[in-house]
Amino acid sequence: MAATPAKWPGYMGVGGGGTLGGMRWVLIFCCLWIAACGRVEPGADFVFITEAPHNRRDPQKMSYMHDIRLAHNLFETLVNLDFSDMTLEAAGAARWEVSEDGLSYTFHLRPEARWSNGDPVTAHDYIYAWRRAMTPDLATPYADLMFYVRGAKAFFEFRVEQLKAYARNVERGGRPVNRPPPGPEGAGAGESGEGRARLVWELALDEFDRHVGLRAAGDLTLVVELEHPTPYFLQLVAFATFMPVHAASVEANTHFDPNTGQWEVDNAYWHRRDQLITNGPYVLGDVKFRQHTDLLASPTYWNRAASRNRSIRELIVESPNTALLLFERGQADFWPGAPGGQFGETLLKQKHGNVHTVTMAGTYFYNYNCADKLPDGRDNPLKDARVRCALSMAIDREALTRFVTGLGEPAAYSFIPPGALPNYEPPVEAGVRFDPVAARKLLAEAGYPDPSRITGLSILYAPVSIHEDVAQAVAHMWQEHLGVPVALEKLDPKAAAQKQLDRQYVISRSGWFGDYPDPNTWLEMRTTDAPNNTTSWSNVEYDRLIRDSMSELDPRKRMQMLRDAETILLREQPMAMLFHYVFLNLYREDQITGLDSNAWGRWRMEKVKVNRDSNDE
């Protein structure tokens, strides 16, 4: 923990402000420390704080950590992953078998597993859910996770072409035939409106049944065939994208857009407790947008006897000051991921006994748009790896984490955090170090002896948490050390995320937490065609190494392939690694059990028990 002032002296003049709080912080903390520790109001057995409203409730569409955290309470995957020791546990499947060649997985579902309406959970529900994620209709950022299943990628591409053909037919008014001929080019013919779109979807379903390696061998047996052996497939299956959904109720809330041919699910389904049917340890209770979400123990959950609480309230609190006040007054039991910056540093300096730090399996970084042209049509200097490396070399990460972020985060010289995985050590020696002199030489080699000629650069970010402080600091470093002017572009979180997805940015703030314990969860996202590769960076050798590693069964050889791939990534710098996340988790250790500290930010909340008696005076 740094004992120096919270702001880097060279940064304090940027953006027109000195400190970020001054007397405001003194007053806040004086009030907090004299506040009595009252009890949580009667009601929920366990109350935790989330700092942002949810983006998605559909498990196949979600990608944000707080969305996934909630989903694991409502839905249960075939297997669970205990992130405290990386062990797999039987969940929706009581047992499974893997073929000798590693290409076939047979999951035997629990006969006692029930949906919250009492229906049995069947293999057909899993197939329905996984098929949703294999279609462009859903536009899930994790569609590629399904491509391990035999035929899934080909089905996705079939549907893409089918929808393109449908759109062409809509433009020319359709063709009056009784039924479309087989194949994508038949799309859009026949019936009008939604009926025509449904007819086209029936063709897609036939394609799925004939070519995709998913089948139900009875209601309680799911057989999955893979494209190639995947050593970490069971870890993948524990991820949110692979959660089942209640096929009948989702289908009842699905309609087809007659203009695009795509199916869509009424978003209200995922938010209404009188509609949403779940198979996890909880059902949805009262929901008030931007205020709270209540979860109630499901009376039909197969393992309800092992749950240690009967109700949970998630408080949506966007103000860190308010969140801390609620925690201090005893109105919340757990606050995961409290912000850093001066707020977090002040907490740590107070030696607050309820603050617990953990280095996370996640990296904070800046994406460089590597396309040939900038969004405004000008030539893009960032398409040259030398320019990208030079910018990265002009960032003083040690100063950034010492004076700006405030939590003592480890400076990042690799994409995968060191120590995050038991059998993999990232090639940190390939990462760029702070060296402004070498950075200027690189720029000169790239044709910029006068770096001030590099124009059109901007940093896109959402002005929440520490993002603005970091953006101002990095922009100041680039100006100070290289003479490169960089503008700041701040948008609300959803607008910033969409602009990044659309690749309409120059440099953008981003972060990535591992989804499953394998290097691939970081490295695959930078392959050329990966949906999450918003940098437009492409490297043939990198793609080959990632592709070949997926089917390599020798663990030592596979890890070396992945290490070689990360070395290429670090030398080409399609993104500037800044630091590895440190989380501040607030909870009273003497009152709460079942919150196993882990670097992945995953907790099985049905295992949490709170004893508030020690708050009584």
Domain(s) labelled CATH 3.10.105.10 in the chain stretch across 358-582
Structure tokens at 497: 């995320």
Distances (CA, A) of 134 to 54, 184, 270, 399, 514: 23, 16, 20, 44, 21
Inform me whether the pLDDT recorded for 34 exceeds 50. Answer: no
Which amino acid would we find at residue 406? G
The three-point CA angle 232-240-465 to 5° equals 110
Which amino acid would we find at residue 75? F
pLDDT at 352: 74
Whole-angstrom distance, CA of residue 145 vs CA of residue 134: 9
Domain(s) labelled CATH 3.90.76.10 in the chain stretch across 76-270
CATH topology assigned to domain 23-52+274-357+583-615: D-Maltodextrin-Binding Protein; domain 2 (3.40.190)
Judged by average pLDDT, the poorest of 346-360, 377-391, 402-416 is 346-360
For the structural domain made of 358-582, what CATH number should be given?
3.10.105.10
Q: Please say whether the beta carbons of 261 and 166 come within 8 A.
A: yes
Whole-angstrom distance, CA of residue 58 vs CA of residue 241: 9
Average pLDDT value over all residues in the chain: 89
Structure tokens at 128: 């329905």
Contacts 24+ apart (CB under 8 A), 185-189: 187/162, 187/163, 187/261, 188/261
At 181, the pLDDT band (50, 70, 90 cuts) reads: very low
Beta strands in 14-155 (DSSP E): 46-50, 79-82, 87-90, 93-98, 104-109
Structure tokens at 544: 């080959």
Domain(s) labelled CATH 3.40.190.10 in the chain stretch across 23-52+274-357+583-615
Residues 6 or more apart whose Cβ sits within 8 Å of residue 226: 102, 103, 104, 105, 148, 149, 150, 213, 233
Structure tokens at 78: 């075939």
Reported as a single tens digit per residue, the pLDDT across 542-551 is 999 999 998 8
CATH topology assigned to domain 76-270: Dipeptide-binding Protein; domain 1 (3.90.76)
Q: What share of the chain is helix, strand, coil (3-state, %, to 5)?
A: 35, 20, 45
Say whether 104 sits in a helix, a strand or coil.
strand
Higher per-residue pLDDT: 464 or 121: 121
- For 475, phi then psi, to 5°, come to -60, -40
pLDDT at 4: 25
Inform me whether the pLDDT recorded for 40 exceeds 50. Answer: no
Reported as a single tens digit per residue, the pLDDT across 226-267 is 999 998 999 999 999 999 999 999 999 999 999 999 999 999
